[in-house]
Structure 1
Amino acid sequence: MKKRLIIFLSFITFYTIGCTDDFVEVEPDGFNDSDFFNNQEEYESALVGAYDMLQATFWNVLTGIVASPDYAAGGDEFNYDQPTLQNINLMIHTPSDENQLRSIWGLMYAGLNRANFILEFKNKSEFAGKEEIIAQAYFLRAYYTFELAKFFGNVPLKTENRNGVLRIMDERIFPEDEFSMERVSDLATTYSLIEEDLKEAIANLPVTQELPYEATKGAAQALLGKVYLYHAKFDQSKYAEASTVLNQVISSNQYALTTGETYQMLFEGEGENSSEAVFEIQYTGIEAAGWGCIECSQGTYFPQFCGPRSPYNDPVYSSGWGFCLPSVELYDLFEDGDARRDVTFFDLRDAQDSYTQSRDDTGLFNKKYMPRKADDGVGADPLNYSQNYRAIRYADVLLMAAEAEAQSGGGNAENYLNQVRARAYGDNSHDYTSAEGSLLEAIYLERRKEMAGEGHGFFDLVRTNRAASTIEGFTPNKNEVFPIPLIELQLAQAEERWGNPGY
């Protein structure tokens, strides 16, 4: 069972974006940043505040899932109750579609800025262990920036040349900066900026951490490998770099695939922070939330989106809002004997009269993140379920490494692919053979099945140039990224400077 973690913001109430009319909020009256960062405790408090924004990434996961062709947005059958999600699912979204997109934009910048706050004052005080705190801040800044890049492309950042390398500036973004900030020159350069932060983080992160929410060396290496794979769309030499760093994660022997009954519980409470967890975002339902500030909860209400619409009665699962509905086509990809099918899908096709059907109802639900009754009642259900998000799993690392090896001529691609398959089937009866055709295509298919319902599929299709041929309504040179919300462009007076092409 996971350690219950309540993240106290303490003084860190600044830079909460998304429910305001400002690009970046200034700190509240009474806080003087020049009087802070005097000792280890104050650095650690700031770091906790930077981690806290990871809990807002459930918006990212939900949006990524409904953008995938394997999932329908769902929702009310007669009304567009979540129009942004429903428009994204149809690939007809525009800058006027705010809701989730504005939350992703604002909250990821908030996280980036909290990391920047630490880095701006990284040299103010000295104490044993400070290098690790700074390394975690670089990891977090990379994580938030990567999320922004995935969704919006080459986003506006403050940059500088440091020791001959282009870097993100170690200083905060203030409200007035929005009027002069420019977008990074291109997406490849944005990925390079993220890579530099991760390389700096890796140098001073430990192999293990005492607290489950803290980033490790392996987490930073895995994220760096993923960024290299995205960068490889523009520079194929990055496949070899991805292979190198992902092999370091594998050879560290810090992680292992869960198997058998343990795998069946991987997305349950008992499966949190398992041997497969490379980086896991922690949630707790202890601290109550309210509709006025959903992000203020320490829980997640993503599972509420995934449950069957009320009225629905089940001994294990609660009713939900009927979003992120898996397709029958996705279900049919899983063969009999594939343990992942029962982990991935909650199948009510023989009981569709037991719940209120959603728009695009398939009778299938995203079981990995269903609302569970065992999770109810701790706080302010349905706003703060305590189900962790498995941000980077070891199976993800193996499949990324397999792809990188296949693309760069390495010799381990089949081995890594077969490890994932052997866990799924319980033996090596489904090892890859050349009779299947392309090894790379086999890896793509395995990734589609293994990572289903976790928010990666849409981005995998984009980075491998398969989105246009796979997603109905997808417009090339437009839908690879999402529109920056119109209100944010207007506030920054940047409709021409920042607007994404085609929107």
Structure 2
Amino acid sequence: MFKMVKYFAFSLCIASLVLQGCSKKELVDLYPEFNLDALANPSNIKQVEDVLLGAYAAFRNANYFGSGSGTGSGWAIMPDVLSDNLYETLQTLSNSRAMADWLYQPNTAQVATLYAAPYGVIANANIVLRDIDKFTTSANQLLANRLKGQAYAMRAMAHFDLMRYFAVKYDRNSTTDLALYYSTQFIVQPNVRPARMSNKQYYDSIFNDLSKATTLLGNVDAPINPVTGLTRPYIDLPVINALLARIYLYAGMWPEAIAAATRVINDRPLVNLDQAAFSGMYNQTSRGEIIWNVQFETGQQGPTFLAYFATNGRSYFRPALEIATVAGTTGLIRSNDIRYSAFFTTMSGEQSLTKFRGKGTVTDGSTNFPVFRTGEMYLIRAEARARNAQEGPALDDLNALRAARINGYIPVTGVTGALLLEAIANERRRELVGEGHRFFDLKRTTRTITRGSTCGNQAISPAGDCQLNPTDREWTLPIPESVRNANENAQQNPDY
């Protein structure tokens, strides 16, 4: 594990040496310029800040929110590929077929890269937290708070994202289910071989980091994101609340999820049937409901290339017909829904997922990824309320979101129990398709993946297995063989 941390941190820094630097006030669109002394022996707080910008750059890794040609996009599009939202097409390069068909093993290359990607963020965050106090004075305390708060939040988020793939269960208080090791130091010694923590220990560490981040970011020297503009590329207090809301949902902490989501909703209202504002979140022409976006610029491959190769219009994975169709009259997302034209484009008579194809009218695939949006917060609050005996307010949230998306929507009434939860789950499919949720949603609610009408039709898709049962091992990715070879204490997940 720590060998991977070392590799990704240093490779990131070496790559940054050949590019121009950027100040904290600029967009996170360039790698910061700093030398290896900033890792081992920084000389001032500016160098520490550069390492923090390196952590932001690590979110663009091709296996985190970025993508390669038919690969990657681990926390963006991959969870839709792994589930029932997208299907593999005959245009695919087979680069991700082992993932799409649930054939992965401990030696599968993409499993190793998915495991490693968040450690680039964690390594840089740990370097910031290791060094920043050396240069903190009474004069720059609020600046230090701003940098430390972001580093704690990044570390928590990257660890949570690892848990989503590599932990078998998400039970908050389990002392027997294994998460991973929670790394709080930049350690590269080969003799350090930590064991995996229980879910309880791991969650405790996440919440401890987010508690520190909340306190620090509540007392800073300057706004973290610009007040106006088209993006929100940095982590501020609304991002902390959005992350908490998401984690509380996974952990089954319903009152806490409701409270955190409400704080964000109050800060970032929905756009109301505003096509330009909604679509603008994906092509950088409007902030819309963005809470936090990972910034991609020209030449940096954004999330789309796993599913849609923007520069030549090639679709490796397309929306399942149960999601949307060319006619726009069937499926979960229809043509009277502002999400339809924002998410999809008909090409050569087939539907393509084009929400990340580029900025403005450019189709180079270098567009931002909205990690958190207000729509998700409504759905988190709706589900948490439904599971916390507040079905009326839950239905109110569901109706409010639909009314902001669907022209001519008529609110539904009287939906309760399992039907209400199913309606919320379907709305999550509509709202969040291609944004890194479906596989995890099915996993955390112990559902079966049953792929739709294209699965098994060899004239349309080469996909094989069409069903993943709740007890199947493939809901959890294996600990990579390379990690196990370096650290025998990194216990393998069951049945691998």
Q: State the match for 1:121 in structure 2.
A: 131
Indicate yes or no: 2:320 matched with 1:327. Answer: yes
Equivalent position of 2:85 in the other structure: 70
Equivalence for 1:412: 393
SS of the equivalent of 1:176 reads: coil
Alignment pair present for 1:45 and 2:44: no
Structure 2 CA distance for partners of 1:435 and 1:146, relative to 1, 3 Å:
closer
Q: 1:277, CA displacement in angstroms?
A: 0.5
Residue 328 of structure 2 corresponds to which residue in structure 1? none
- CA deviation after TM superposition for structure 1 residue 335, in Å: 4.3
Counterpart for residue 212 of structure 2: 200
Shift in Å, 1:9: 3.0
Name the CA distance, whole Å, in 2 between partners of 1:333 and 1:34.
Answer: 52
- Name 1:448's counterpart in structure 2: 429
Match status 1:365 vs 2:365:
no
Q: Deviations over 1:90-144 (max 9, x none)?
A: 2222122213x22221121121111011112242222232112111000110111
Letter in 2 for 1:394: T
The answer to whether the 8 Å contact 1:75/1:323 transfers is: yes
Aligned AA (1:198): L
Amino acid at match of 2:279: M
Shift of 1:76: 4.0
What is the aligned counterpart of 2:255 among 224, 240, 248? 240
Matched AA of 1:402: A
The question of whether the paired residues in 1 share the 8 Å contact of 2:77 and 2:303 is answered with yes
1:153 aligned residue: 167
TM-score in terms of structure 1 length: 0.75
Match of 1:438 in 2: 419
For 1:474-493, list aligned pairs within 5 A.
474=469, 476=471, 478-490=473-485, 492-493=486-487
Deviation at 1:191, TM superposition (A): 2.8
- Give matches, 1:460-499, under 5 Å: 460-467=441-448, 472-474=467-469, 476=471, 478-490=473-485, 492-494=486-488, 497-499=490-492
Counterpart for residue 231 of structure 1: 251
Deviation at 1:457, TM superposition (A): 0.7
Q: Deviations over 1:206-251 (max 9, x none)?
A: 595335321111111110111111112xxxxx11211122122223
> Equivalents in 1 of 2:333, 2:288: separation in Å?
24
Match of 2:185 among 163, 168, 171: 171
Aligned residue number for residue 111 of structure 1: 121
2:29 corresponds in structure 1 to 6
CA distance in 2, matches of 1:407, 1:434: 14
TM-score, with length taken from structure 2: 0.76
Q: Please tell me the residue identity of whatever aligns with 1:389.
A: F
Partner SS, residue 133 of structure 2 = coil
CA contact (8 A) 2:304 2:356 kept: yes
Instruction: Please state if 1:86 is matched with 2:73.
Output: no
Aligned length: 418
Q: For 1:277-288, what aligned pairs fall within 5 Å after superposition?
A: 277-285=290-298, 288=299
| 1:249-286, Cα deviation, whole Å (9 max, x unpaired) | 223x34433532324523542445x140011111111x
Q: Which residue number in structure 2 is paired with residue 17 of structure 1?
A: none
Equivalents in 1 of 2:303, 2:183: separation in Å?
33
Distance (whole Å) between structure 2 residues aligned to residue 372 and residue 143 of structure 1: 26
Q: Aligned with 2:293: secondary structure?
A: strand
Residues 429, 483 of structure 1: alpha-carbon distance in 2 compared, 3 angstrom cutoff: same
Do structure 1's residue 400 and structure 2's residue 418 form an aligned pair? no
Residue 302 of structure 2 contacts residue 367 of structure 2 at CA under 8 Å; is this kept in 1? no
Alpha-carbon spacing, 1:282–1:371, altered in 2? closer, same or farther (3 Å): closer
CA distance in 2: counterparts of 1:281 and 1:76, whole angstroms: 28
SS of the residue aligned with 1:93? Answer: coil
Report the residue type matching 1:97 in the other structure.
Answer: T
Q: In structure 2, how many angstroms separate the alpha carbons of the residues matched to 1:432 and 1:319?
A: 46
Q: How does 1:248-267 map to 2 (within 5 A)?
A: 248-251=263-266, 253-257=267-271, 259-263=273-277, 265-267=279-281
Could you say what secondary structure the match of 1:502 adopts?
A: coil
Work out whether residues 402 and 414 of structure 1, in 8 Å CA contact, stay in contact via their aligned partners in 2. yes
Query: In structure 2, do the counterparts of structure 1 residues 210 and 219 end up closer, same or farther at CA, with 3 Å as the change threshold?
Result: closer
Distance 1:119 1:255, change over 3 A: farther
1:292-441 map, 5 Å: 299-307=300-308, 318-331=311-324, 332-335=331-334, 337-348=336-347, 351-352=348-349, 363-370=350-357, 374-375=361-362, 385-410=365-390, 412-434=393-415, 438-441=419-422
Aligned residue in 2 for 1:313 = none
Question: CA separation of 1:5/1:113 partners in 2, compared to 1, >3 Å: closer, same or farther?
Answer: closer
Distance in 1 of aligned mates of 2:448 and 2:285:
32
Q: Deviations over 1:319-374 (max 9, x none)?
A: 244223111122112345222223222234xx34xxxxxxxxxx221121236794
Paired amino acid for 1:330: I
Distance in structure 2 (CA, Å) of the matches to 1:424 and 1:108: 33
**Runs (5+) with no aligned partner, structure 2:** 1-25, 67-72, 170-180, 227-231, 325-330, 452-465
- Cα deviation digits, residues 41-86 of structure 1 (max 9, x gap): 2232121111111111222123222102121233646xx631xx21
2:119 maps to a residue whose letter is Y
Corresponding residue for residue 21 of structure 2: none
Give the RMSD, CA atoms, in angstroms: 3.0
Q: In percent, how many aligned pairs have the same letter?
A: 23
- Asked if 2 retains the 8 angstrom alpha-carbon contact of 1:90 and 1:472, the reply is no
Distance apart, 1:420 and its partner CA: 0.9
Task: Give, in whole Å, the separation in 2 of the partners of 1:32 and 1:390.
Answer: 30
Kept after mapping to 1: 8 A contact 2:77/2:307: no
Gaps of 5+ in 1: 13-27, 156-166, 233-237, 289-298, 309-316, 353-362
- Give the aligned partner of residue 139 of structure 1: 153
Q: Contact 1:304–1:371 (CA<8 Å) still a contact in 2?
A: no
